[in-house]
Amino acid sequence: MRNILIFFFTSTILSVVILKYIPVYITPLMLIRSVEAVIKGETPEINHRWVPLEEISHNLPQAVMASEDNLFLKHSGFDLEQIQKAQIEAQEGKRQRGASTISQQTARNVFLWQKRSWLRKGLEAYFTFLIEKIWGKERIMEAYLNSIEMGKGIYGAHAVARINFKTSPAKLTKDQCAYIAVSLPNPLQRDSAHPTAKMRKMHNTVLKRMKQIDTFPRDACAQ
């Protein structure tokens, strides 16, 4: 058992250190989606290209913070207030909602799987702690914007900009970024290029929130 624990902590910490400096070229979810496509008799499709944060429109991190995690720059990986609210709502029998921060989502996307379980939640907390300590906010945001699922076979800012908006990630407009942000909770059902009336309403809310939160201070966040 001792050797297993040593191997686990050594390998996981080393992998986090390595991925601080090299791009994340493939994620567990990309592989899972490919297997699901094969099972359905479809051709697997992975549209993904890593681009540095400075080559992504500053509107995109602003939009995802406004939509997904407005305290991203202030918390240490976990939004305890939102977690508590989610627990209370679950106890009251209300519809379960996500309370994951951008840091938690990044840990899950890069290192783990999507299906909920206590094991995944525990590992997610562990990897979230590691990336907050080792990567810092700027690298976490960079990995998030490059690895998150943004549509069927679409992963990251480069792919969604090219496929959905026929542009580069650096030229994404504020409106386009807001639509991408509102699609993230369910990217296989919400198409940022063809928003529904509900998505347009959510998009307007995100635009308002983008004005109310701090901008993404790259220099201040760099570790």
| Cα angle 160-164-167, degrees, rounded to a multiple of 5 | 80
Which residues of the chain, if any, have pLDDT below 50?
89-92, 94-95, 97, 219-223
Residues with Cβ within 8 Å of 50's Cβ and at least 6 positions away in sequence, in order, are 23, 24, 25, 146, 156, 158
Please tell me the predicted confidence (pLDDT) of residue 1.
Answer: 86
Please tell me the predicted confidence (pLDDT) of residue 221.
Answer: 45
Please tell me the predicted confidence (pLDDT) of residue 15.
Answer: 97
Domain layout of the chain by residue ranges: 25-221
| Cα angle 24-17-9, degrees, rounded to a multiple of 5 | 110
Please tell me the predicted confidence (pLDDT) of residue 18.
Answer: 97
The CATH number assigned to the domain with range 25-221 reads 1.10.3810.10
Please tell me the predicted confidence (pLDDT) of residue 214.
Answer: 80
